Amino acid sequence: MRTQVAIIGGGPAGLLLGQLLHCYGIDNVIFERKDRDYILGRIRAGVLEQGTVGLLDEVGVSARLHHDGLVHHGIELAFGGARHRIDMARATGKTVTVYGQTEVTRDLMDARLAAGLTTVYNADNVSLHDFDSEQPCIRYEKDGTTHEVVCDFIAGCDGFHGVSRQSVKPDALTTFERVYPFGWLGLLSETPPVSPELIYTNHERGFALCSMRSLHRSRYYLQCTLDDDVNNWPDEKFWDELKRRLDPQAAATLITGPSIEKSIAPLRSFVAEPMRFGRLFLAGDAAHIVPPTGAKGLNLAASDVHYLSVALREFYAEKSAAGIDDYSRRALARVWKAERFSWWMTSMMHRFPGTDEFSSRIQRAELAYLIDSDAAKTSLSENYVGLPY
C-alpha cells in the first residue's frame, strides 16, 4: 500500500487530521489497533473551545454538534459554601460548547466512512520505520498477515501509551512530567445537570466538579486518592459525598440516579519535546497530557492537528517545508500555555495531601482575588475558552 500520510490512531485527533487532509486533497490512511465499537465505548470529556468547533465546521461534521451541543457562556467556582459565576463571554466575547468527545468521534467516523476513506481497524503490532528518511513506512499485522505501507509522512495520534512516541530514540526526546497525588472518581448518570453551567468546587473534603453531557445526562467528579478503588464507591456513597462538597443550594437540588459508568482517572501533566522527528510528527496525547481541570486535552489535540494539517498542505500545494519545520515550535508554544493553565486550575481547586493552614489560606486568597478582580476573571476566561491558534 502507498499513501501520502499514514495516521497512527483512530481517535478524535487522528480522525480530525484525516478529514482536514482529505479536504486539502491529501491522501491518508488511518491505522487503529482497536475496533470501532471499542473506541466509541470510551467515556471522555467534552468541553470544546471555539477553535475546535471551527475545525469541525471546516470539515463539515458539526451539524449534530450545533443541534445537540450546549453553548456555555460561563462557569461557576464554589468555595466557602457559595458559588461565584465567571462570565467568560462578557470577558472575551467567546463561549465553549459542551458536546461529548464520543459524539465528536462518531461524527468524524461517519464522515470518513461516507467519503470512502480507508481506516484499518484491528491493526496489530504496528511498527514505524525509516522516518528519518524521505520514504518512511509502517508495518502492521491483520488477520495473521503482515502488511507494509510506504508513505511520505507519519502522524502519531495514538495517545500516551501508543507506539509512535515509543518509536523515537530515547536520547532524541526530552520529557517533562508532574504526577499529582490524587485522582478523579467520575460518575455518569442519566439525570439532569444540577446547574446549567459547570461548577468547580474547592472544599476541605476535596475537589468536586458538576459537569454534563446533555440536558438529561450528567457527569460528576470527586477528588480521591490514587490508591482508591471504584468498588469502594457504591452509588449512594458517591452521591452522599458529592452533596457534602457542594454548596447548600446545589446539594438541595441535586437529582441522583443509578450510575451508567464509574471510573477513576489519575492526574498528570506531561510534555515530550520536540514533536517532530524527521518525517514523524506527534500530536495530541502522544506528545502531551494535561490534568482535566482546565478542559484542554481534546482541544490541544485539535490545535496540534490544525498546525500539522496546514503545514502538510503547504508542503504539497506550495512545495514549502517551512510549515513542517516550524510545526514543533508552534505546537509546543500553545501546549505549554495550556499546561500552565491546567496546572494553575488544578493547584487552586484541589486539596493536596499534607497541606498546612498557610497553604490553605493562600488558596482561599487566590480564589477571593479571582472573583473580585476583572483582570483575573478575564485571564481565566481567555485561557478557558481557548487561546488563539
**Residues labelled as active-site residues:** 72, 200, 292, 296, 384
- Helix, strand counts (H, E) of the chain: 13, 20
The percent helix, strand, coil of the chain (3-state, each to 5) is 40, 25, 30
Side-chain half-sphere exposure of 177, counting CA atoms within 13 A: 10
DSSP 292: G
Nine-digit cell string for 30:
488511518
Q: Name 254's bridge partners.
A: none
| H/E segment holding residue 331 | helix 322-349
Q: Name 359's bridge partners.
A: none
Q: How far apart are CA 327 and CA 363, in angstroms?
A: 37
CB-based burial, 124-147: b 16+ in 10 Å, e otherwise: eebebeebeeeebbbebeeeeeee
* Secondary structure (3-state) at 121: coil
Cα Rg of the chain, angstroms: 21
